[in-house]
Amino acid sequence: MWIKYIFITVLFYLLAILQNSFFAHFNLFGATPNLVFIFFLLIVFFEKQRLNYIIIFYASIAGLLLDIFSSGHIGVSMVLLIMIGLLIKKIHSLLSEKNEKYSFIYFFTLFLFSFIIYKLSLGIYFYFSNDQNNLINFDWKIVFDMIYNLFFASIIFGVYKKFFAGRLDNRQLSLFNK
């Protein structure tokens, strides 16, 4: 079972490096895909157990990596993702899980909601901490950033659902449950 968490941690790490190096060349109007954030949301969305400590663990790893590869203090994204993760867990439990064909619509909505919360909270933090270097302007570029990330999120959602969603929780797979 613990191998699953190591695998996810390594995956988060690789995604953080990819978004800061490879995908930096694919920025449009300054927007780059936030792969760590997208993957974190996917993990929380598809995580069947949804225990608080699991969400906190994922949020801590994802947030730590986001903070390390950006300027500013370590821990800001960590705290924000913990809050977002727990909020998603609460909202998701209220949604109907009987019909899986609506899962993309649920994810789409949760992603937009979480992205706005994340950017807004970061902007408020940088504003009140007087971190002029990292101020976020809430203009059309933020909307474009959201759409651009949603594009990548949709692709990764499809890949994740097809190849990983069942397998990472399948107790019959001994590889991830030792």
Distance separating alpha carbons of residues 82 and 62, to the nearest angstrom: 10
167 lies in the site for other proteins, by CB under 8 A: no
Mark the segment that binds other proteins (CB under 8 A) among 10-18, 103-111, 152-160, 170-178.
10-18
Query: Cβ–Cβ contacts within 10 Å for residue 7, how many?
Result: 13
Please say which residue, 27 or 170, places its beta carbon nearer to other proteins. Answer: 27
**Residue 124 is a binding residue for other proteins (CB under 8 A):** no
Q: Which two tokens stand for residue 61?
A: 């790893």
Minimum CB separation from other proteins for residue 67, in Å?
A: 9
**Site size for other proteins, by CB under 8 A?**
32
* Rounded CA separation 67/61 (Å): 10
Q: How far is the CB of 147 from other proteins (least distance, A)?
A: 14
Is residue 31 near other proteins by the rule CB under 8 A? Answer: yes
**Of residues 6, 10, 68, 124, which one binds other proteins by CB under 8 A?**
68
User: Between residues 72 and 91, which has the closer beta carbon with respect to other proteins?
Assistant: 72
For residue 130, state whether it binds other proteins (rule: CB under 8 A): no
* Residue 155 touching other proteins (CB under 8 A): no
Tabulate helix, strand, coil % of the chain (nearest 5): 75, 0, 25
Residue 21 as a binder of other proteins (CB under 8 A): the answer is yes
Distance between CA atoms of 55 and 33, rounded to whole angstroms?
A: 22
Angle at 26 between CA 25 and CA 28, to 5 degrees: 120
73 lies in the site for other proteins, by CB under 8 A: yes
Judged by CB under 8 A, the residue of 20, 103, 121, 154 near other proteins is 20
Q: Which of 18, 120, 146, 156 binds other proteins (CB under 8 A)?
A: 18
Cα separation, 65 vs 70, whole angstroms: 9
Nearest to 37 by CA among 121, 118, 138, 151: 118
